[in-house]
Amino acid sequence: MKSAVFGVAGQDGRILSGQIHAQGQDVLPIQRGRTGDPLSDPDWDDVLRREKPDRIYYLAAQHRSSEDAADESANEWIQSFRVHLEGWVRVLDFVRKHLPQCRVLYASSAHVFGLPAQCPQNEQTPMAPFCAYGCSKLAGMEAGHFFRKEYPIHISHVILYPHESRSHHHRFLGRLLQEPGQILRLVREVAIHRDERFISAIIGVFEDGLVG
């Protein structure tokens, strides 16, 4: 069994890759700006053609820490749609043409719900995103729905809520609270341990989405 992980440099990509390795399976890591990136490598599909993965996890994301200043500029919208829609559609189209038996998973975000009146959310909750991240993630899900309806390929979506681990970038609040001298360091260590177990459960959802 071989899995291609797009977005392997991110928190979830690193944890997922580690767990797949721990199961004795092969991982094909795809990182932004490197070989195999559908947005920067003109021969990106050569990697998938050669390696023929059984599963593809599209975790690539245009990330911005919630502690950063909001950026709803044109560039933020363009980059979000490039990563969450254009790159994803290129992968789907390749699978349709060359790896129809490969199972594919797209990691979406709770931002697709916007500010929902219903809590907790479920499959019937209206999706009304209001930011570049949420709108582009919803567009990616709609593309997945289209390909799943039109072609005989297995596509799963998983909607992720905020979660943290030691793998998060140092700019994120959860990581900042682990730095020396922070009053909440001990409390944060407990919370991070809990969230890492939660992420392991999320990885199980990834697996369940591609099995059966």
Write out pLDDT tens, residues 106-136.
999 999 999 988 888 888 899 999 999 999 9
Element at 90 (helix H, strand E): helix 87-98
What is the per-residue pLDDT across 142-178, written as a single tens digit (0 to 9) for each? 999 999 999 999 999 999 887 555 544 444 444 444 4
Residue 198, pLDDT score:
52
Indicate if the pLDDT at residue 189 is higher than 50: no
SS3 131: coil
List pLDDT tens digits, range 6-15.
999 988 898 8
- Residue from 53, 49, 48 nearest 25 by CA: 53
Regarding predicted confidence, which is higher, 209 or 88?
A: 88
Domains and CATH numbers, the chain: 2-209 (3.40.50.720)
Residues 71, 73, 76, 79: what is their CA dihedral angle, to the nearest 10 degrees?
-170
Does pLDDT of 72 surpass 70?
no
3 state SS of 164:
coil
Q: Please, which pLDDT band fits residue 212 given cuts at 50, 70 and 90?
A: low
Give the model's confidence band at 35: pLDDT under 50 very low, under 70 low, under 90 confident, else very high.
very high
> CA distances (Å), 156 to each of 16, 38, 99, 179, 198, in order?
16, 20, 16, 37, 20
The residues, any chain, with a CB within 8 Å of residue 187's CB and separated by 6 or more, are none
What pLDDT is recorded for position 182? 45
171-186, pLDDT tens digit by residue? Answer: 444 444 444 444 444 3
**What does the pLDDT read at residue 110?**
92
pLDDT at 85 over 70: yes
Q: What letters, b where the CB count within 10 A reaches 16 and e where it falls short, cover 126-143?
A: ebebebbbbbbbbbbbeb
